[in-house]
Amino acid sequence: MVHIVRCQVGSEVLVFETGRMAKQAGGAVFVTYGGSAIIATACCSEKVTEGLDFVPLTVEYNEKYYAAGKIPGGFIKRESRPKDKEILVSRIIDRPMRPLFDKAFGREIQVVPTCVSTDNINPPDIVAINAASAAVHISDIPFAGPIAAVRVALVDGKYIVNPTFEQCEKAKLEITVAGTAVGITMVEGGSQEVSEEEMIGAIECAKEPIASLCAAIEELRGLAGKEKLPLAPLKVILNKEEEIRAFASERLSVALFTKVKQERGKAVRTVIAETEKVFTDVLAGEVQQKLFSALMEDLQYHILRNGILDKGLRVDGRGLEDIRPITCEVGILPRTHGSALFTRGETQALAVTTLGTVFDEQILDNIEGDKRDRFMLHYNFPPYSVGETGRLGTGRREIGHGSLARRAVEVMLPPKDKFPYTIRVVSEVLESNGSSSMATVCASSLSMMHAGVPMKKPVAGIAMGLITDEKRFAVLSDILGDEDHLGDMDFKVAGTKDGITAFQMDIKISSVSTEILTKALAQAQRGRLHILGIMEKTLSAPSADISAYAPKVVTAKVDQEKIGAVIGPAGKNIKGMCEKFDVQINVDEEGNVTIYGKNQKDAYAAKEAVLGLVEEPEVGKIYQGTVKRIMDFGAFVEIMPGKEGLVHISRMAKGRVENVTDLVHEGDAVKVKLMEIDRMGRLNLAMLEALDENGQLPPQSRDDRPQGHDGGSREPRRNDDRRGPPRRY
């Protein structure tokens, strides 16, 4: 039986439907919003594993090209590995849902939202989040949801819920907000230096539509929900739990407050090993070992949280607002275009900037249309950064953290017409103990400024944490990895001295109040300004010059109607100039010409050649020309590419000239003045040596000028009765 539930969100109606498609899945919904549609399914495995200490959840958002009426580009016409955008959407779906699954369920869970239609007006990612939540909620998988999500944009001073693609382009702020009926649990987005108050306003604006969507999903479950499968908790208890707890608690309380990360980890492992050795007789078997590990985790969780709430004491001895020592260095790599090393405590990021040409832009082929990307930020997190071994590669974490850092700095980049370079930044995380993504923001900003990228303002980022109980809360600045793992909230704020540029918040509890969020944002602002102050002491402004190893870029503008003249038949002109000057030339559809050369001299010479193809000769102007042909009556001189004029023998010098070759030869560079353009468009030139101090021809030269040049076809008779051949242009 088909069941349908509708909910008005923003300017469109979100329609949930179940019972018509994918009926063999544990839960399946078909959700539409405008012309965008998602099929979302949720399934779990039959095998149950008891004692899991994590939720084996996989979210696989995917987009089909047919959704936009497209066939994939390139040689492979089948959708293959997930694109970065699909991975990022999968993460946005995963993060608010994961805390609502119970570890005791013990089964693998797979959620697959598929975009099957898009109108390129309403972004399908928001539809996918709600579809995924609905599919899980009506399924047989235990879920403490539902969750729902909306996008909020600030356009012309007004908040818009679920804006269109066009409205997003104009937005000062754009965030995705997810939550339950109780409150907000996830926020992610970017902005153009908005204030903390504007950010809170956007989050508050999302609460009502999220509550309405949750109610609609609950209604759908009431109509078509399946009975939930049972949990599979361990039915045994840990032997001598209280004795183990008493033995380990005091020792862990000492070990956990060792300041250095590696030493702290070693101290904690030592305590756990000693405890296990003392109680080895009661810890036999896999189940007892799992229960013992869970107890050790639980003890650490409560010791650290109580230390913060009761004493204001953090594991490394800092106060709640204290930020770890920071050092900034630039120019540490001799041959790169820009480099910076940012170290904050035990977190360190090396950011390297490379400047390229328009031909280095990344071509993106997706259902929203093909586009070119001139800015790339790639984040790498090798296992040695945390003192471990493992495979090198790019996973979802790397793509997600890189996207956040990119969003933070991208709004501060100069427009392409002012800085026509392609920019790639690579962040190598060399050490990690808390917020390597925010260290990447700081290092990337410094690296680009060192490379000479004229950024509008430097950008810094900070990660904040939250510890709560029933009555108290503490907001932590610049959190460590342990505080992130054991805390109730992880939120990252990046921006300039004047406002926020990127924001990401994940909450592990049911929700946070506006009071907590306001305090956290104000505290984050103070931390951000502190970090920016240290960065500016190292590099206060972008370098005046780019690296000697970077390509040289020269720009020009030609009339759109003359683009063809620059390119030439089958690209002949532009190819010829590229070969002649050893440059790369790009002309866009608006007539913007960008020339990339290995050195400045060749780049500017190519620019003159390009302009010469479209420039109209100007009477009275002096040109540097090249002698192309020698005739008895004069010389033909090229003053612009493809444009020649005649210097008559009588206009080569002030006195009488017997032979043209007495003064010039083919290939000679000469300075000439354009004296006139006749009615047939022919150019009459004079060499500067033939002109008087006023730049005019003496009377004798004027009397000897070629007769009939006003349109006649006859060459003038000279005193020696020598005739020249007809002039051909």
Q: Which of 565, 581, 614 is the last residue of a domain?
A: 614
Is the CB of residue 589 less than 8 Å from the CB of residue 567?
no
More confident residue, 615 or 554: 554
> Rounded to the nearest 5°, which phi and psi values hold at 490?
-130, 115
| 507-548 residue pLDDT tens | 888 778 888 899 999 999 999 999 999 999 999 999 998 888
The CATH number of residue 582's host domain is 3.30.1370.10
User: DSSP letter at 504?
Assistant: E
Same domain for 156 and 302? no
pLDDT, position 224: 96
Same domain for 246 and 214? no
| 65-103 residue pLDDT tens | 999 999 988 788 998 889 999 999 999 999 999 999 999
**Distance (Å, rounded) from C-alpha 478 to C-alpha 484?**
10
Q: Is residue 722's pLDDT more than 80?
A: no
- Tell me the mean pLDDT in the region 609-614: 82
Same domain for 149 and 121? yes
Q: Which of 538, 573, 603 is the last residue of a domain?
A: 538
Q: Indicate whether 317 belongs to any domain.
A: no
Is the CB of residue 112 less than 8 Å from the CB of residue 23?
no
- Tell me the mean pLDDT in the region 710-728: 42
Q: Is residue 396's pLDDT more than 80?
A: yes
Average pLDDT of the chain is 90
Q: Is the dihedral of CA 661, 666, 670, 673 positive or negative?
A: positive
Using 50, 70 and 90 to split pLDDT, how confident is the model at 592? Answer: confident
Neighbours of 8 (CB within 10 A): 11
pLDDT, position 557: 87
Is the CB of residue 320 less than 8 Å from the CB of residue 474?
yes
Same domain for 61 and 181? yes
Same domain for 505 and 610? no
Q: Indicate whether 546 belongs to any domain.
A: no
Compute and round to an integer the Cα radius of gyration of the chain: 35
**Distance (Å, rounded) from C-alpha 383 to C-alpha 330?**
25
Residue 711, classified by CB atoms within 10 Å of its CB into exposed (0-12), middle (13-18) or buried (19+), is: exposed
217 Cβ contact list (under 8 Å, min separation 6): 5, 16, 130, 133, 134, 137, 145, 146, 148
| 105-151 residue pLDDT tens | 999 999 999 999 999 999 999 999 999 999 999 999 999 989 999 99
Q: Indicate whether 579 belongs to any domain.
A: yes
Neighbours of 165 (CB within 10 A): 14
Which residue type sits at 201? G
Q: Indicate whether 232 belongs to any domain.
A: no
Q: Which domain holds residue 577?
A: 552-614
Beta bridge mates, 148: 179
Please provide the DSSP assignment of 687-703 as one string: EGGGS-TTS---HHHHH
More confident residue, 424 or 551: 424
Q: Indicate whether 547 belongs to any domain.
A: no
Which residue type sits at 412? M
Largest CA distance in the chain: 127
pLDDT, position 449: 97
Q: Indicate whether 235 belongs to any domain.
A: no
**Distance (Å, rounded) from C-alpha 657 to C-alpha 637?**
18
- Tell me the mean pLDDT in the region 215-238: 93
**Distance (Å, rounded) from C-alpha 125 to C-alpha 113?**
9
pLDDT, position 610: 86
**Distance (Å, rounded) from C-alpha 414 to C-alpha 331?**
21
Same domain for 601 and 668? no
Relative to beta strand 375-380, strand 422-431 is parallel
Is the CB of residue 20 less than 8 Å from the CB of residue 2?
yes
More confident residue, 258 or 64: 64
Q: Indicate whether 606 belongs to any domain.
A: yes
pLDDT, position 729: 37
The CATH number of residue 16's host domain is 3.30.230.70
- Tell me the mean pLDDT in the region 712-723: 41
Q: Is residue 369's pLDDT more than 80?
A: no
pLDDT, position 711: 36
Which residue type sits at 327? T
| 264-308 residue pLDDT tens | 889 999 999 999 999 988 888 888 888 899 899 999 989 988 889
User: DSSP letter at 306?
Assistant: H
pLDDT, position 720: 46
Angle between helix 241-255 and 261-278 (nearest 10): 160
More confident residue, 329 or 555: 329
Q: What is the CB-side half-sphere exposure of residue 227 using CA atoms within 13 A?
A: 1
Nearest residue to 556 via CA among 571, 566, 569: 566
pLDDT, position 658: 87
Which of 177-181, 333-337, 584-588 is the least confident region?
A: 584-588
Q: Is the dihedral of CA 270, 274, 275, 281 positive or negative?
A: positive
Q: Which of 614, 630, 658 is the last residue of a domain?
A: 614
Same domain for 259 and 340? no
Q: Indicate whether 519 belongs to any domain.
A: yes
pLDDT, position 471: 82
Q: What percent of the chain has pLDDT over 90?
A: 60
Nearest residue to 423 via CA among 396, 459, 450: 450
Is the CB of residue 13 less than 8 Å from the CB of residue 257?
no
Angle between helix 84-97 and 396-410 (nearest 10): 100
pLDDT, position 588: 86
**Distance (Å, rounded) from C-alpha 369 to C-alpha 109?**
32
The CATH number of residue 266's host domain is 1.10.10.400
Using 50, 70 and 90 to split pLDDT, how confident is the model at 724? Answer: very low
Same domain for 562 and 413? no
Q: Is residue 549's pLDDT more than 60?
A: yes
**Distance (Å, rounded) from C-alpha 120 to C-alpha 128?**
15
Same domain for 596 and 668? no
618 Cβ contact list (under 8 Å, min separation 6): 674
Beta bridge mates, 586: 594
DSSP H helices, 600-691, are 600-614
10 Cβ contact list (under 8 Å, min separation 6): 150, 160, 161, 162, 163, 209
Nearest residue to 93 via CA among 365, 501, 393, 396: 396
Peptide bond into 146 cis (omega under 30): yes
**Distance (Å, rounded) from C-alpha 443 to C-alpha 140?**
46
Same domain for 434 and 563? no
Same domain for 190 and 123? yes
| 141-199 residue pLDDT tens | 999 989 999 999 999 999 999 999 999 999 999 999 999 999 899 999 999 999 999 99
Relative to beta strand 499-507, strand 489-496 is antiparallel
Q: Which of 491-500, 657-666, 673-682, 705-714 has the highest mean pLDDT?
A: 491-500
Q: What percent of the chain has pLDDT over 70?
A: 96
Same domain for 80 and 178? yes
Domains of the chain: total? 5
DSSP H helices, 123-260, are 124-138, 165-170, 196-224, 241-255
